[in-house]
Amino acid sequence: MTDTVRLVSLAVATPEHVITQSQAAEASARLFANRFEDFRHLARVFDSAGIEKRHAARPLAWFEEPHGWQDRMEAYAEAAGGLFVETATSALRRAGLKPSDVDCIVTVSSTGFTTPSLDAQLARRVGFRADIERVPVFGLGCAAGVSGFAIASRLARSRPGAVVLFVSVELCTLAFRLDELTRPNIIATAIFGDGAAACVLRAGGDGLAQVESTGEHLFPDTLDIMGWKIDDGGFGIVLAQSLPPFAEKELGPAVAGILARNGLKTEDIGRFICHPGGMKVLAAMESALSLVPGTLDHERAVLAEYGNMSSPTVLFVLERVIRAGLPERAAMIAMGPGFSASCVTLRRPV
């Protein structure tokens, strides 16, 4: 069908600085062990997180100094801007398009902000038209890779033939806090990294995948599971210990409900493409979706190589699944602040 939205291209990128897990563990011990009584107990997460390295917007030494809002947002504007340009131009080149061909751009990020938004600041540098429609989205967190993709696909469907560019940029490491002597901060130090991804979507034509359906589920009374607390020092991570068991109990029915609203059942899905929030979360997702343990292999590989980059991480997984061969039907799933779950089903292109 000509009005079927297609994923035309996909590109991913990471900052130049690399921090190995052993380097992160050593630096954290140096910075926290003598100030935080529970650190030695919590430090085991560096070994159990399943992460070998991650990329960062700044070199390791930067994180060993105190930083406030100005430092963090200046670093965000510079690094996020570079990743935005790199992924957007790469995705457009792979689609055989020019920046001036883009009619609408959806940008998601929850780890920093600029005003005007990144898309406006970089419009001339990239080469967007003056009449481009811009949709910057903040606050969806880890779920934004799927939720933002869904927003972009619905915009593409509403305007057949229009080129919609979706960009996801997250610099999680910039939220690292020397002053936060808390369990969530130590865990965040062990699992989060930086990255970006961009997709071109358009109704009609050829593509890597067909977008079949979208849906979300907002769980009531769950605001304390994940998010930011914001103070003079910057963002501070909110991350409840209850997340893995919550996901194991609640994700299955939520996804089943989203699929049912689109005339589908869980058994119709040939491959779930999941946001790898962490090793325990992946195990919980496999249980919730009745998958054989270890099924989410691309998710574990991305987590090991890049850490949890928040919203773009699921798109790194999608890239690998497409490269390996998309099944007849797949479902992208991510959970994030709200607490919420987002789902997009994809079909193999015909």
User: Catalytic amino acids?
Assistant: 142
CB within 8 A of 235, min separation 6: which ones? 72, 111, 175, 228, 229
* C-beta separation of 232 from 186 below 8 A: no
Q: Is 15 helix (H, G, I), strand (E, B) or coil?
A: coil
DSSP string, 170-196: EEGGGG--SS--SHHHHHHHHHB-EEE
- Tokens 């939220």 -> residue: 175
Q: Are 276 and 282 in contact (CB under 8 A)?
A: yes
The contacts of residue 97 (CB under 8 Å, 6+ apart) are 163, 200
Q: What's the CA gap between 137 and 77, in Å, rounded?
A: 16
Q: Which of 284, 263, 261, 280 is nearest to 272 (CA)?
A: 284
